[in-house]
Amino acid sequence: MKIGTTIASLSRMAAWSLVLLVWQVMAAVAQTSDLKSDDRLRVCADPANLPMSDKDESGYENALADLIAEKLDVPVAYTWFPMATGFIRQTLGLKRCDVVMGYAQGHELVLNTNHYMTSVYTLVVSKDGPLVEVTSLSDERLDGQRVGIVAGTPPASHLARHGLIAQARPYQLFVDRRRESPAIDMLVDLEAGEIDAAVLWGPIGGPLVKQNHPDLTVIPLVGETEAPRMFFRITMGVRQGEKVWQRELNSLIRRHQNEIDALLHEAGVPLVNDMGTAVKEPEG
């Protein structure tokens, strides 16, 4: 009897262990795949962050969201929130949306997809000016020139290294884009002759110049090899732990990279190779 009772007890324990294991697996699957919507592409975005995103859906990240939603055969639904402190906590973190269309690779607040573009800081100058052939911040032709720079960005260190910071004009990094736009202000000042050149992150400066400043030209600074680096890989961001959703987006990016490149190129975003050493032209 004692042996039979022991065997029965062990059998019950094994059965309960199996049930517990199945429950844990199901819970893990729910954590990685059940939090996102299956009938909409729920996008977290800034409502006033042109040229990337805007509430009227005229930014290139809005166009990218449309492309991804088309491939998923679902509509896009936006959660709008200013891209500032608390953005991820108030959007992805509260499960109000499922993806941020543009996020720098390696940021711990989100789970990054594979990168869908690599871009670089650029020098913006007049098409007819004396700086049109400058391709590096170490170029002697920049000596004595008034260069616009967003304070606290990587190119500021390069300007300081090359002795250009004293005459540089700083523009604020952290602003409420609903009320201020340093990049737009910088380009207006450049056309007005208040500065001689502008250094801007390519995915911001490139589209703004293409849309509104035909007399200016954008030069990708691919020759800057010293630290801090001037190029960055951009991904989509999803909630931490949502590996199934991450892999689904990775597959879409891989299969439709040429379409993504063409969309970004059309918007005016300067694309470079993964190491930031050469300009990348879209295939075809």
Residues 125 and 106 in one domain: no
Q: What is the pLDDT of residues 225-265, one digit of tens each?
A: 889 999 999 999 999 999 999 999 999 999 999 999 999 99
Domain count, the chain: 3
Residues 128 and 207 in one domain: yes
The CATH number of residue 182's host domain is 3.40.190.10
pLDDT at 22 over 80: no
Residues 246 and 192 in one domain: no
**Per-residue pLDDT at 263:** 98
Is residue 273 one of the residues assigned to a domain?
no
Residues 180 and 242 in one domain: no
Tokens standing for residue 269:
């975003």
Tokens standing for residue 190:
């450049």
pLDDT above 90 covers a percentage of the chain that reads 79
Is residue 198 one of the residues assigned to a domain?
yes
Is residue 50 one of the residues assigned to a domain?
yes
Q: What is the pLDDT of residues 179-188, one digit of tens each?
A: 778 999 999 9
Is residue 47 one of the residues assigned to a domain?
yes
Is residue 280 one of the residues assigned to a domain?
no
Residues 208 and 147 in one domain: yes
Q: What is the pLDDT of residues 96-136, one digit of tens each?
A: 999 999 999 987 899 999 999 999 999 999 999 999 999 99
CA separation for the pair 229, 14 (Å, rounded): 56
**Nearest of 212, 177, 219, 214 to residue 197 by alpha carbon:** 219
State which amino acid sits at residue 123: L
**Per-residue pLDDT at 11:** 55
Residues 157 and 202 in one domain: yes
Residues 215 and 123 in one domain: yes
Residues 124 and 106 in one domain: no
Residues 54 and 14 in one domain: no
Residues 89 and 7 in one domain: no
Long-range interactions of 253-257: CB distance < 8 A, separation 24+: 253/113, 253/114, 253/116, 254/114, 256/67, 256/71, 257/116
Q: What range does the domain containing 3 cover? A: 1-34
Q: What is the mean pLDDT of the chain?
A: 90
Residues 106 and 239 in one domain: yes
Which element (helix H / strand E) includes 262? helix 257-267
Is residue 151 one of the residues assigned to a domain?
yes
Is residue 281 one of the residues assigned to a domain?
no
Residues 17 and 53 in one domain: no
pLDDT at 54 over 70: yes
Is residue 256 one of the residues assigned to a domain?
yes
